[in-house]
Amino acid sequence: MPRGPALGTPAHSDPLSRERHRILHAVQDRLEEVAQTTIAVMRSEIPSYALQDERFFDDVRDQVLTHYRMQLAALAGDRDMAPEDLVFSRAAAMRRARAGFALEDWISAFRVGRQVLWDALLDCAGTSAEAQQAALSLVTPLMRYVDYASTHAAQAYVEYQQHVVADADRERRDLLDQLLAGAAPTRGPLLAAAQAYGIGPHSPMMAVVAVCVGDTRTGDFTSAEHGYAASASISVAGPWAGRTLVVVRHGEVVAVPVVRTGMDAEDICAHFEAVQRRLARKGTMLSMGISTVARGACELPRAYEEARAALDLVPSEGGVAALPRLSPFEYLALRADDLARQLVDPRVRALLEEDRRRGDMLAATIRAFAEADLNLRLAADRLRIHHNTAHYRLRRIEERTGRNPRRIADLLELLVALAIRDGAGEGGDRQ
């Protein structure tokens, strides 16, 4: 911090200087009264101050008087300002920050102090033209002092908050590292942190991994801002009470939501899907992988690897791959490699690709027929088509592919081919 502003005014005429000194001495004589008025206004205008006890206001009174004495001495030209003069103010700012007061409350206290002092200066000045001119000449140096002192206070707040944030980040990372090693903390600060998130040795938990869509394989965020914006949004409680452990690490955001009483895995999936969509609307495009439920900390490493693997199922434009929403069949189809695709009969592949271009009517019929347990009339009703139309579609599928959907083995092959086609993800939704 550079040396403070010069608040004295040696260039004023003698009559004006005498008036200034008279006003300043008059305020000095009633400084205790001015300080008490300042405290009363703070109580009434700053809600967080109104809740405090007399011990707190004893500290405030000392701060106010020290500031006022320093201002009056500087305005009288008896001294210049220096950074070391405001050590007391920085210490007080740290105390307020540690006590949980918001920075705006501290700045409001400065505003109140300035306004009450200015009212006292005007009151002591009187109504003569020369006195009014002398009082007005004090406005600029008074504002310079308040600006200088409040800047020091704001810096102290920022330094403290940075310290708190760094400590909190370190604690969250340490807690996550221990959980990903398969153990819940049993004592010390990490145990307290785990309890704050509702995490115990046997708590049912899930793992969620989010990365920017630029690179879902390496999880490289395009900027730190995206990571911390995502972290802040994810940590907000969902439809359940409690906080969620969220950590930005190694280019990815890792969340460990606890499946609390009355919830199930779908509640978690729906919440994180909503978060992903909300962030997308704000310009932060994420891919998210969500694991199955881990029955305690010992299973969390497995859940984390599941969430990482689920990222491979997310389309290139981002989205959510939630393993609890997939059947084993769907998962295996989505994980199919190029060899599996080549094993699909070319006739089947050609029909399904053509059908996709024409609106997927045959694909819908295959799915409905399977879901209706091979009951063609029920499948037709669900598709809202005549059963003769459904019968015609099945016959056409058999003619084009050589597979009879009424045979379990052939129907299963058609379903696998259909799932592999959709899993290729050419603009498809893999959620």
pLDDT tens, position by position, 271-320: 899 888 888 887 778 899 999 999 999 999 999 999 998 888 888 788 89
Q: Output the pLDDT for position 50.
A: 87
Pairing relationship of beta strands 286-290 and 319-322 according to DSSP bridges:
parallel
* Lowest pLDDT segment from 48-62, 92-106, 377-391: 92-106
If pLDDT is split at 50, 70 and 90, which confidence band does 1 have?
very low
CB 313 within 8 A of CB 420: no
Q: What is the DSSP string of 209-224?
A: EEEETT-TTTT--S-H
| 61 pLDDT higher than 60 | yes
Residue with the two structure tokens 């009424």: 406
Rounded CA-CA distance 128/235 in Å is 61
Average confidence score pLDDT of the chain: 82
**Which residues have a Cβ under 8 Å from the Cβ of 203 and sit 6 or more positions away?**
184, 258, 259, 296, 297
Residue in 395, 416, 407, 425 with CA at minimum distance from that of residue 348: 416
Instruction: Identify the residue whose tokens are 């800047």.
Output: 151
CA-CA distance, 425 to 422, in Å (whole number)? Answer: 6
- Please name the helix (run of DSSP H) or strand (run of DSSP E) that holds residue 289, with its range, or none: strand 286-290
Distance, CA of 51 to CA of 57 (rounded, Å): 11
Residue with structure tokens 């020290």? 66
- Give φ, ψ of 123 to 5 degrees: -65, -40
195 has a pLDDT exceeding 60: yes
pLDDT at 382: 92
pLDDT at residue 218 in the model: 46
What Rg do the C-alpha atoms of the chain give, in angstroms? 35
Question: CA 246 to CA 379: how far, in whole Å?
Answer: 45
Confidence of residue 18 (pLDDT cuts 50, 70, 90): confident
What is the spatial distance between Cα 230 and Cα 286, in angstroms, rounded to a whole number? 9
Q: Could you tell me the pLDDT band of residue 36, with boundaries at 50, 70 and 90? A: very high
Determine the Cα–Cα distance for residues 168 and 126; give it in Å rounded to an integer.
54
Residue 225 has pLDDT above 50, yes or no: no
Average pLDDT estimate for 18-25: 89
pLDDT digits (tens, 9 = 90+) for 80-105: 666 677 778 877 877 887 777 888 88
**Cα-to-chain-centroid distance, residue 235:** 6
Q: For residues 86 and 80, give the distance between their C-alpha atoms in angstroms, rounded to a whole number.
A: 12
Hunting for tokens 């600060």 — which residue is that?
189
If one compares 162 and 127, the residue with the highest pLDDT of the two is 127
Confidence of residue 337 (pLDDT cuts 50, 70, 90): low
Lowest mean pLDDT, pick from 1-10, 73-82, 256-265, 419-428: 1-10
Two tokens at 54? 């007399």
Residue 327's Cβ-count burial label (10 Å; 0-12, 13-18, 19+) is exposed
Rounded distance between C-alpha atoms, residue 200 and residue 296, angstroms = 7
pLDDT at site 378: 93
> What's the confidence (pLDDT) of residue 308?
92
The pLDDT of 233-245, averaged and rounded, is 63
Q: Which of 44-53, 102-111, 230-239, 390-399 has the lowest mean pLDDT?
A: 230-239
- Nearest Cα residue to 259 out of 219, 232, 299: 299
Q: Is the pLDDT of residue 220 over 60?
A: no
Please tell me which of 138-142, 234-238, 302-306 the model is most confident about, judged by mean pLDDT. 302-306
* Single-letter amino acid code for the residue at 266: E
Q: Which domains does the chain have, with CATH numbers?
A: 14-164 (1.10.490.20), 189-326 (3.30.70.270), 335-424 (1.10.10.2840)
Length of the chain: 431
More confident residue, 315 or 371: 371
Closest CA to 26 of 112, 134, 129: 134
Look up residue 167 and give its two tokens. 């400590």
Higher-confidence position of 225 and 351? 351
Query: Is residue 425's pLDDT more than 60?
Result: no
Q: How far apart are CA 257 and CA 235, in angstroms?
A: 9
Burial of 126-161, coded b for 16+ CB within 10 Å and e otherwise, reads eeeeebeebbebbeebbebbbebbbebbeebbeebe
The structure tokens 């340490």 sit at 174
Confidence of residue 215 (pLDDT cuts 50, 70, 90): very low
Q: Is the pLDDT confidence value at 217 over 50?
A: no
Lowest mean pLDDT among 124-128, 219-223, 246-250, 419-423: 219-223
Q: Which residue do the tokens 């705006």 mark? A: 104
* pLDDT for 170: 83
Task: With a cut of 60, say whether residue 7 has pLDDT above it.
Answer: no
Mean pLDDT of 128-155: 83
Average pLDDT over residues 17-42: 92
